[in-house]
Amino acid sequence: MAKYAGGGHQDPSTCLEGTRTTALEKIDKWKRKTLEEENPKMMWLTGSTGSGKTAITQTVYERFKAEELLVVQTSFCRSTGCTDPKYLPLSIAYQLAVANSSLKAAIQAVVQADPAVIDASIDAQLQRLVLEPISENASQIPMVYVILDGLDECGVEDQQIHIIQLIQSIVTEQHLPIRFLIASRPESWIQTTLSSPSAPSLPTVFLNQDKEADSDIQLFYETEFKRIHNDPRHAHSMTSAPSPWPSTENIEWLVRWASGQFIYAKMVTRFVGEPGHSPIRRLEIVLQPNSGL
């Protein structure tokens, strides 16, 4: 089961300090809700491609770990080939076993009694390897937080809908100490399933293009360009850099072109700061019309 440890998560980047504060504060508030409050067990983080969902979920995961909460994270990603829904229950079970000795004993007992459970359906695996061990140890363990990133990259539409419905049934029908933070693009079938009449009301964080996103991207540019400017590998080429570099106008243009997409800003700074090339010349290329970036 160890090969399913981390799902498809390959990019450990987190949010730059001081950015995405609204989204992170909403998630923190959700985390602190008591079980008596309305639907604290599930939250949806959504935004278009490149809006920063993965950086936010990774930041949340690391913060929860630092607070010594019982948190696991599973990510689906087409670019890494990790799209199979079978990763979900096995990844959760493996991480729970690593994190908590009581859950480890319970999960190991299930696998030893029935090794075929590793090849069972997602529903059966989730029930036997995750929910039953949690139920058996509910009085001995803290709240379990499950972070699911990239739901829209998991299998096909029907499989994504099925996973949502499974989670909805868990949070509405089973009184277990478990909460889910789901991150995905706002695909129509995902929105429809999450907002169906039979589904519980859902706390949602929308990562839309807004002034905060632009401010965060500007801070990201300023921080990254400063790092590039001070990188010893660029010491020779940066001796001819104008001051300030880049200019305020150039950063404003780059923020505007990013259109709220952190992925664009990361591509630009990665290109400009690539070792072996002049950052000054590379930035000039980016700022040219039809540069392709």
Spans of all domains in the chain:
2-206, 211-287
Q: What is the pLDDT of residue 48?
A: 86
Residue 228 contacts residue 234 (beta carbons within 8 Å): yes
Q: Compute the residue count for the chain.
A: 293
Tokens of 114: 């029935």
Q: What is the pTM of this model?
A: 0.79
Q: What is the pLDDT of residue 8?
A: 46
Q: What is the pLDDT of residue 19?
A: 83
Q: What is the pLDDT of residue 7?
A: 52
> Following CA atoms 208, 169, 162, 52 in sequence, which dihedral angle do they give, to the nearest 10 degrees?
20
Across 2-69, the runs of DSSP E, i.e. the strands, are 42-46
Residue 167 contacts residue 42 (beta carbons within 8 Å): yes
Q: What is the pLDDT of residue 78?
A: 86
Residue 55 contacts residue 12 (beta carbons within 8 Å): no
Given a cut of 70, the residues of the chain with pLDDT beneath it are 1-12, 35-39, 200, 209-210, 291-293
Q: Does domain 2-206 have CATH number 3.40.190.10?
A: no
User: What crossing angle do the helices spanning 21-31 and 53-66 adopt, rounded to 10°?
Assistant: 50
